[in-house]
Amino acid sequence: MAGLALVRKPGPRIAEGIVTNIPREPVDRELAAEQHAAYVTALAAAGWRPEHAPPADDLPDAPFVEDAVVVSGRLAVLTRPGAPERRPEVDSVEQAVRGLGLNTVRITRPGTLDGGDVLQTGDTVYVGRSARTDDHGIAQLAALLPERQVVPVELSGVLHLKSAVTALPDGTLIGDPAHARLPGLLVPPEEAGAHVVPLDGDTVLMAASAPRTAELLEKRGLAVVAVDISEFEKLEGCVTCLSVLVPDALSM
């Protein structure tokens, strides 16, 4: 079951994106644009129809569109990012998700919530307690999703929960236990191997920087689509944060 993929093209200031937990490296703006286009093409090839949020060329981190909204069913929860300079990204994302026919609500002050801290699998919603997401934000999200079990997760040394942990199609959590306090994690052989986007059925999207993890998942019966996102990895980005997937059943 595929659907719509909300994305946003990187702007001319992409190299100025916020870096928190890793050393800053030069970012090739043109290569970033090429990699983003290839990422969108991979989503489209897997059946996810791209829907572009309005350009935000003055906002360096705007391509990391996942941080601005959390979609659950037909509800789009517009976040209040923990980094104040990222909050202007949300209004244009609201415009985009309303165009998809979703209902919208907002996280309000004093709460902060980044979408990258929200991992949904089955009826459970794991939410990282991070420098970007606080207890007020977690409590608001739980109140907005009363039918889901919201589970706070303590983090260490990473930007977001999904910088450390994601979920495979069968619900298995994959990630680094040194960064997230969750039991029973499948530990990948590479750091980038923690970042998995289930696409459809047994197909997953991963970064090309995790070939050993891709081999591990293929041995588990998964089909892996690898994309090169090296320029976004320099900004603590991963395959999860460059899109928000809205299944057809939810966008109708």
The predicted structure's pLDDT at residue 1: 59
The predicted structure's pLDDT at residue 156: 94
Q: Pseudo-torsion of CA 40, 41, 46, 52, nearest 10°?
A: 40
The number of angstroms, rounded, from the C-alpha of 77 to the middle of its chain's C-alpha atoms is 14
Q: Among 160, 179, 195, 238, which one carries the catalytic annotation?
A: 160
| Tally of CB atoms within 10 A around 123 | 9
Tokens of 252: 């109708």
3-251: CATH architecture: 5-stranded Propeller (3.75)
Complete edge-to-edge strand list for the sheet that includes strand 124-129: 118-121, 124-129, 149-154
- Distance from C-alpha of 64 to C-alpha of 52, rounded to nearest angstrom: 12
Q: Among 36, 179, 238, 241, which one carries the catalytic annotation?
A: 241
The predicted structure's pLDDT at residue 181: 87
Q: Is residue 238 flagged as an active site residue?
A: no
Residues 156 and 182: beta-carbon distance below 8 Å: no
Amino acid sitting at position 217 = L
CB burial class (10 A; 0-12, 13-18, 19+) of residue 171?
A: exposed
User: Dihedral of CA 137/138/139/145: which sign?
Assistant: positive
Would you give per-residue pLDDT tens digits along the chain (252 residues)? Answer: 589 999 999 999 999 999 999 999 999 999 999 999 999 999 999 999 999 999 999 999 999 999 999 999 999 999 999 999 999 999 999 999 999 999 999 999 999 999 999 999 999 999 999 999 999 999 999 999 999 999 999 999 999 999 999 999 999 999 999 999 899 999 999 999 999 999 999 999 999 999 999 999 999 999 999 999 999 999 999 999 999 999 985 544
Tokens of 83: 């980094």
User: What's this model's pTM, rounded to 2 decimal places?
Assistant: 0.96
The predicted structure's pLDDT at residue 249: 53
Residues 6+ apart with CB under 8 A from 91: none
Three-state DSSP state, 181: coil
Q: Is residue 160 flagged as an active site residue?
A: yes
- Give the residues across from 151 on adjacent strands: 126
The predicted structure's pLDDT at residue 248: 81
- Distance from C-alpha of 101 to C-alpha of 153, rounded to nearest angstrom: 31
